A = this chain, B = another copy of it.
Amino acid sequence: MIAEPRYDEGEDEEDIVLNERFLAQVREAVEAGDKVRLDALLDDLHAADVADLIEQVGSGERAALLELMGGLDGDILSELDEGLREEVIDQLEPEELAEAVRDLESDDVVDLVEDLEGEQAEAVLEALDSADRAVVEQSLAFPEDSAGRLMQREVVMAPEHWSVGDAIDFLREAEDLPDQFYHVIVVDPRLRPVGYVTLGSILSAPRETPLKALFEDSFRTVEATRPQADVAYLFNQYHLISMPVVDDDDRLIGVITIDDAMIVLDEEHEEDMMLMAGVGDSSLSDTILETARQRFGWLFVNLLTAILASAVIALFSDVVDQIVALAIAMPIVASMGGNAGTQSLTVAVRAMATRDLTGANAWRVVMRETAVGFLNGLLYGVILGAVGWLWFDSAMLGVVLSVAMWLNLVVAGLAGIAIPLGLEKVGIDPALASGTLVTTVTDVVGFFCFLSLASWLLL
């Protein structure tokens, strides 16, 4: 047996820089209008942390902070939450914006521009020189959330006949290599990628080795029009580090690196989680009004479905009127169904995101979830039946609770898996509507089973 020592969680977080003490110091500097002190505080900070700082202060403080900072690096702008970029850009002078943007790589400019309104987007594009602008506009011509928007245009490529020595000589003399690259992509005379070689193997192989002899097994390309979610899946599934992007004619037009794929993976997760909870596209830096509006819509859908469930109760108002115990016990059946349905649903949404649940095994998984509902329904039927019998001193009410619980957990298991599968089949993101749909089904079925059994057996 292997010993498993435990670590002390969170004890040693000195590299989590935005702690309360630091924020208090920033606030003091901003309130005192002390630019020297503010610059000293921010000087060592990574752009991602400065962006987080701007996000974390309240909106009143934010204006004062930005004013005292006076201009922003492009890096900070591109790290900033999308919802805040417009607000921050509005506060920059045109020449400050131009200076910030000129430092950025083309893929970062694309990421920045695509979320801006017309006028601001124009301002950013105009700040670029014409060559950079053309590159950015080409990327923007690809569909939103496609591989083409994610790729960087700067690629390091080599012809098929090159040796390691040729590649090294080329790299030594090249100006303007990309900031980060991990492979040399080998292309045929029509610029179609045929393989890639890691920099590590170029460095460790003899000069005369042909690049072809060092091709990595992991090589695969992606079309520029493929959704970014697929790109993130491919990186994660095949442990890729970079992936060449090709156009309709299979010609190399860019490359996506794993750091960008990791960001997409993170965003896709966030989207699934937020969609399931009905929060939509939101962030902590949104204002109260914006946030209330974003959540209003989902709550409205929930209101309609809650009214539907209540209408089911209303159908049985006679029997509820005669036996008050029914009003007391019925939320238990609905609540258990809702939770069991959410369990199945969450497993399904996750498995669909990781492509573990596909048309090929859907039927088996539906059967499995229904069987799990059957088993747990049986157990909880017995437990709740006993509770109901003792609580309300009525064996028959216990039987009604028991059977209703059982039926509802079977339906919950089935609905939790069948609804997301059905939504995907008709082209709707299964995370989007499943939450309400599943709990609506379990509420309606729960109330209906319980109250109809009650009116049959208890009256």
Contact = CB atoms under 8 A, between A and B. Distances in A.
Interface in A321-372: 321, 324, 326-332, 334-336, 339-340, 342-343, 345-347, 349-351, 355-361, 364-365, 368, 371-372
A371 B449 CA distance: 39
Given A56-B358, A259-B239, A328 B302 contact: no
A372 B290 CA distance: 9
A172 to B, nearest CB: 6
Contacts of A387: 307
A168 interface: yes
Contacts of A57: 361
A166 interface: no
B331 A443 contact: yes
A182 interface: yes
Given A266-B265, A284-B365, A331 B334 contact: yes
A298 to B, nearest CB: 7
B172 A200 contact: no
B121 A360 contact: no
A383 B261 CA distance: 44
B327 A313 contact: yes
Contact of A58 (B113, B140, B279, B364): B364
A34 interface: no
Nearest to A323: B321
A236 B270 CA distance: 14
Q: What is the size category of the interface that chain A forms with chain B? A: 35 or more
Contacts of A42: none
25 contacts: A3-B140, A10-B427, A12-B223, A16-B358, A52-B356, A168-B203, A171-B200, A180-B198, A182-B182, A182-B199, A182-B200, A236-B262, A269-B269, A269-B273, A272-B273, A279-B346, A291-B372, A298-B343, A299-B340, A302-B336, A303-B332, A307-B332, A313-B327, A313-B331, A317-B328
Interface stretch (A95-103, A142-150, A185-193): A142-150
A20 interface: yes
A359 B22 CA distance: 11
A350 B270 contact: yes
Interface in A138-185: 140-146, 168, 171-172, 174, 177-178, 180-182
A18 B371 CA distance: 25
Given A9-B227, A19-B360, 4 more contacts: A18-B355, A178-B200, A266-B269, A324-B327
The list of the 6 closest CB pairs from A to B, nearest first, reads A277-B346, A327-B327, A199-B199, A7-B143, A269-B269, A23-B360
Contacts of A314: 328
Interface stretch (A65-73, A127-135, A373-381): A373-381
Contacts of A452: none
Contacts of A141: 3, 5
A64 to B, nearest CB: 15
B284 A361 contact: yes
Given A9-B227, A306-B331, A310-B331, A358 B277 contact: no
Given A5-B141, A121-B2, A262-B262, A306 B347 contact: no
A94 to B, nearest CB: 19
Contacts of A277: 342-343, 345-347
A220 B258 contact: no
